[in-house]
A and B are shown apart, each in its own frame.
Chain A
Amino acid sequence: MSGQIYLAIAYLAMISGLAIWTWTVLSRSNSLEGRIEALEQSIRHGEE
């Protein structure tokens, strides 16, 4: 393989890694938000 192809593979791998990290942080936040909302509702019902 030529150097250009190696470089393109390295570039794609790095930007994909960065995108996966970003997606993980944002999806963890969204998932936690949903779970917090559900817990808050349950606690409110429990207190009533």
Chain B
Amino acid sequence: MKRLGEVLTLAGLTGAGLTLWLGFTWAPSVTIEAFESPEAQKIFYWHVPSAWAAMLSFSLLFIGSTMWFFKRNQWAWRLHVASSEAGLATGLMCVVSGTIWGAAEWGIPWDWTDIRLNTFAMLTLLSLFLVLGRRSQPDGIETRDTFSTFGMYGFLLVPLTYFATRIWQIRHPGPVVGTSEGSLNSDMGLVLLIGAISFTILIIGHIISGMRLAHLELRFEDLTSKYEELI
């Protein structure tokens, strides 16, 4: 399991690097008529896969939180810990790349009236709260239940974020893949697909490694207590 997590993480990281390279050198550019800042559009090869990986992490966070809360499974708590950290990392990657693109294309990095932007930011802040909150609290049933509850209810933001641009399209672009209105060039679509697969492998590898790390941290705490009793 140790090696699996490491291998998947490194394979995903290599794929993410390949995606950026293809996006930079091979994928066609958009025209100045369609975009204010055609060069900045290429950040999309990072932004969309990281948003996908974040949604995957938040879904796994929901599964981990629910299974801990109702079934008290130890693996579920480790999944909660690993997926909240993965959600924070991928959420931040998506928010940062989005603000870079927004600054270049819209002239402003953020729009407080856009539903998609704000619900996604709330999801990222939720994972920040879970990661920092857990580190500042002693581990125990009550602490785990509290954070699991946030992980379960916070999941409501995932479908809301997904459908936000379909219901209230304010500033964030609508879907360009898998819709009748989509007009994504096939080469662009291929690079985006490589990116989505790479980020999926990367995030699964990170979550496996993160679950193992959570297991080691708990084991270390147990052994430290045992050692202190002995001396």
B209 in contact with A3 (CB, 8 Å): no
Q: Let me know if B13 and A46 touch, CB within 8 A.
A: no
Does any Cβ of A come within 8 Å of B46's Cβ? Answer: yes
Once bound together, how far apart are the Cα atoms of A29 and B85, in whole Å? 15
Chain B residues whose C-beta falls within 8 Å of the C-beta of A14 in the assembled complex: 20, 46, 93, 96-97
Give the Cβ gap from A32 to chain B, nearest Cβ, in Å.
4
Query: Are B39 and A42 closer than 8 Å at their CB atoms?
Result: no
Q: How many A-B residue pairs have CB under 8 A?
A: 82
Tell me which of B6, B39, B93, B202 contacts A26 (CB under 8 A). B6
Contact A40 B223 (CB under 8 A): yes
Q: Could you tell me the dominant secondary structure of chain A's interface residues?
A: helix
* A2→B230 CA distance, assembly (Å): 65
The listed residue with most B CB atoms (<10 A of its CB), out of A28, A29, A47, is A29
Residues B41-63 near A (CB distance < 8 A): 42-43, 46
Query: Contact: B223 with A39, CB < 8 Å?
Result: yes
Within 8 A of B (CB), among A7-47: 7-8, 10-11, 14-15, 17-19, 21-22, 25-26, 28-29, 32-33, 35-36, 39-40, 42-43, 46-47
Q: Output the least CB separation between A7 and chain B (Å).
A: 5
In the complex, the answer to whether B217 meets A32 with C-beta atoms within 8 Å is yes
Q: Identify whether the interface residues of B are mostly helix, strand, loop, or mixed.
A: helix
Q: Are B42 and A7 in contact (CB under 8 A)?
A: yes
Whether a CB of chain A sits under 8 angstroms from the CB of B126 is no
Is the Cβ of B209 less than 8 Å from the Cβ of A29? Answer: yes
Expressed in whole angstroms, the Cα–Cα distance for A25 and B231 within the complex equals 31
- Flag if A18 contacts B16 (CB, 8 Å): yes
Alpha-carbon distance between A36 and B43 when the two chains are bound, in angstroms: 42
C-alpha gap A1/B97 in the complex (Å): 19
List residues of chain B with CB within 8 A of the CB of A15: 16-17, 20
The answer to whether B170 has its CB under 8 Å from any CB of chain A is no
Chain B contacts for A32, CB-based, 8 A: 213, 216-217, 220
The CA of A32 and the CA of B10, in the complex, are separated in Å by 20
Contacts of A42 in B (CB 8 A): 227
Residues of B within 8 A of A33 (CB): 216
- With A7-B42, A36-B220 already in contact, 13 other A-B pairs whose C-beta atoms are closer than 8 Å: A2-B39, A3-B37, A3-B38, A3-B40, A4-B39, A15-B16, A18-B89, A22-B13, A25-B9, A25-B209, A28-B213, A29-B2, A39-B227
The 3 A-B pairs with the shortest beta carbon distances in the complex, nearest first, are A3-B39, A32-B216, A39-B223
